[in-house]
């Protein structure tokens, strides 16, 4: 038996990277996976490679699109047991060079999008009266500030706060809410960083990690699986760091 047998999981940013890895692992563990993204061709291709998965276009900044996707999933499956808020963007820029447009772009996706997803899906979860799990993908930047990532850090701190507040509000309904805080993970979003493209820089960075390697999308997916499953049925409001031991 799979750890997610009978569960329906909605995953944002599922076309590639950590979201795609979550989708594959969740399906392998028995979940019906609904993956969403704005990268429609890639999202549909990813879903086609996962048994029983479906793809839906979703701009997580758009409240109406959130409602439409949730309504469709409820119509198709009658329940949403797991929400993984994975979609997000980074911005590497000095704070004094950051424009209000930069600020709004990053916070609209990382914070507003997560808020809309939590609120819209939680309404369906509460009506279903079933134990459910919300997993918000934040970052180590959501627990400490990072130079040249001020707006990204601020948005991820916001996700951490939403997680902890929602856990207190929704626990009475059987909804667990936790956040995952990856360190430097090798995905499409980070592929162009010198930490990955320059062999010497990569070796230097790896030496700063106690486990002596970069993170992989599968490292995040395995923790997301635990939090989505009944194995974590007494865990809520927690921030789980996955960074090889850099921030103990």
Catalytic residue among 55, 152, 234, 240: 152
Q: What is the pLDDT of residue 102?
A: 98
Task: Please report whether residue 247 resides in a domain.
Answer: no
Q: What is the pLDDT of residue 26?
A: 99
Give the Cα separation of 188 and 88 in Å (integer): 12
Reported confidence tier of residue 111, pLDDT bands at 50, 70, 90 = very high
H helices present in 36-149, as ranges = 40-48, 63-77, 100-107, 113-128
For 87-107, write each residue's pLDDT tens digit.
Answer: 999 999 999 999 999 999 999
Task: Please report whether residue 203 resides in a domain.
Answer: no
Q: How much is the pTM?
A: 0.95
Give the rounded distance of the alpha carbon of 199 from its chain centre. Answer: 28
DSSP 111: I
Task: Please report whether residue 80 resides in a domain.
Answer: yes
The reply to whether 152 belongs to the active site is yes
DSSP 51: T
CATH of residue 42: 3.40.50.720
Give the Cα separation of 159 and 137 in Å (integer): 8
Q: CA neighbours within 13 Å on the CB side: how many for 127? A: 12
For 74-85, write each residue's pLDDT tens digit.
Answer: 999 999 999 999
Task: Please report whether residue 40 resides in a domain.
Answer: yes
Range of the domain at 74: 8-185+216-241
For 10-57, write each residue's pLDDT tens digit.
Answer: 999 999 999 999 999 999 999 999 999 999 999 999 999 999 999 999
Give the Cα separation of 1 and 11 in Å (integer): 22
As given in the structure block, the two tokens for residue 1 are 């038996």
For 134-189, write each residue's pLDDT tens digit.
Answer: 999 999 999 998 999 999 999 999 999 999 999 999 999 999 999 999 998 987 66
Give the Cα separation of 190 and 26 in Å (integer): 23
What is the bridge-based pairing of β-strands 8-11 and 82-85? Answer: parallel
Task: Please report whether residue 1 resides in a domain.
Answer: no
How far apart are the two ends of the chain, measured CA to CA in Å? 34
User: If you average pLDDT over residues 53-70, what whole number do you get?
Assistant: 99
């Amino acid at each position: 038996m799979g750890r997610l047998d009978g569960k329906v999981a909605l995953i944002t940013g599922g076309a590639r990277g950590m979201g795609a890895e979550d989708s594959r692992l969740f399906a392998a563990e028995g979940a019906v996976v609904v993956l969403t993204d704005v990268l429609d061709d890639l999202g549909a291709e990813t879903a086609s490679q996962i048994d029983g998965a479906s793809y839906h276009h979703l701009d997580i900044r758009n409240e109406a699109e959130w409602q439409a996707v949730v309504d469709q999933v409820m119509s198709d499956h009658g329940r949403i047991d797991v929400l993984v808020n994975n979609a997000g963007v980074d911005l590497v820029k000095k704070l004094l060079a950051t424009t209000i447009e930069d600020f709004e772009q990053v916070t609209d996706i990382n914070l507003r999008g997560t808020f809309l997803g939590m609120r819209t899906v939680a309404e369906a979860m509460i009506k279903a009266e079933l134990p459910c799990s919300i997993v918000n993908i934040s970052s180590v930047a959501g627990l400490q500030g990072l130079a040249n990532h001020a707006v990204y850090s601020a948005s991820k701190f916001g996700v951490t706060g939403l997680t902890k507040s929602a856990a207190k509000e929704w626990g009475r309904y059987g909804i667990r809410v936790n956040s995952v805080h990856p360190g430097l993970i090798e995905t499409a979003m980070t592929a162009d960083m010198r930490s990955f493209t320059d062999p010497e820089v990569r070796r230097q960075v790896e030496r700063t990690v106690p486990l002596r390697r970069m993170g992989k999308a599968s490292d995040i997916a395995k923790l997301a699986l635990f939090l989505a499953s009944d194995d974590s049925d007494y865990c809520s409001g927690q921030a789980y760091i996955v960074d090889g031991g850099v921030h103990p």
